[in-house]
Structure 1
Amino acid sequence: MNTDHEVNLLVEEIQRLGSKNAEGKMSVKFGVLFSDDRCANIFEALVGTLRAAKKRKLVTFASETLLQGVHDDVDVILL
């Protein structure tokens, strides 16, 4: 899979799993994305896909990188 395709799939998964936050933007916890079976089957490297999406300014999150367990409560926000 190419990166652009994976990033587009990530946007779809955030929309599927997330909910609107106080600012009206779709938001999902990293732990929810990481533990979702469908996401696990789609993304070989979820963190890498998240970083690529952040670089393209499609998502934002409050950390340089995300680690399972440590960052489970970090919001991934669709921009």
Structure 2
Amino acid sequence: MNVDHEVKLLVEEIKRLGKQNADGQFVVTFGVLFSDDRCANIFEALVGTLRAAKRKKIVTYTGELLLQGVHDNVEVILLKDE
């Protein structure tokens, strides 16, 4: 699967699972994304897709690498709707 396509799917999943903050940005925790059955079926490597989206400045989150369990409460913020 190509990275751009996976990033677009990630944007849709963040909108589906997230809530809008005061700035109108969609926010979801990594734990919610990671444990969602639909995301598990879509993304072979969720962490890799998140890193690609962060490099493209589509999402932001604290830290470089998110690990299940350790970073479940880290917020993933959608910066732009690509």
Specify if TM > 0.5: yes
With the shorter chain as reference, the TM-score category is over 0.9
Identity of aligned residues (%): 76
Q: Where do 5+ consecutive residues of structure 2 fail to align?
A: none
- CA offset digits 1:30-73 (Å, max 9, x no partner): 00000000000000000000000000000000111100000000
2:52 matched to which residue of 1? 52
| CA distance in 2: counterparts of 1:23 and 1:64, whole angstroms | 24
2:66 matched to which residue of 1? 66
Q: CA deviation at 1:23?
A: 2.3
| Amino acid in structure 2 at the alignment position of 1:68 | Q
Count residues with an aligned counterpart: 79
| CA distance in 2: counterparts of 1:70 and 1:23, whole angstroms | 27
Q: What SS is found at the alignment partner of 2:47?
A: helix
**Structure 1 ranges of 4+ moved more than 4 A:** none
2:15 matched to which residue of 1? 15
| CA distance in 2: counterparts of 1:23 and 1:75, whole angstroms | 14
Q: What SS is found at the alignment partner of 1:67?
A: coil
1:38 matched to which residue of 2? 38
TM-score by length of 2: 0.94
TM-score by length of 1: 0.97
Q: CA deviation at 1:11?
A: 0.2
RMSD of Structure 2 on Structure 1 (CA): 0.6
Q: Where do 5+ consecutive residues of structure 1 fail to align?
A: none
| CA distance in 1: counterparts of 2:75 and 2:66, whole angstroms | 10
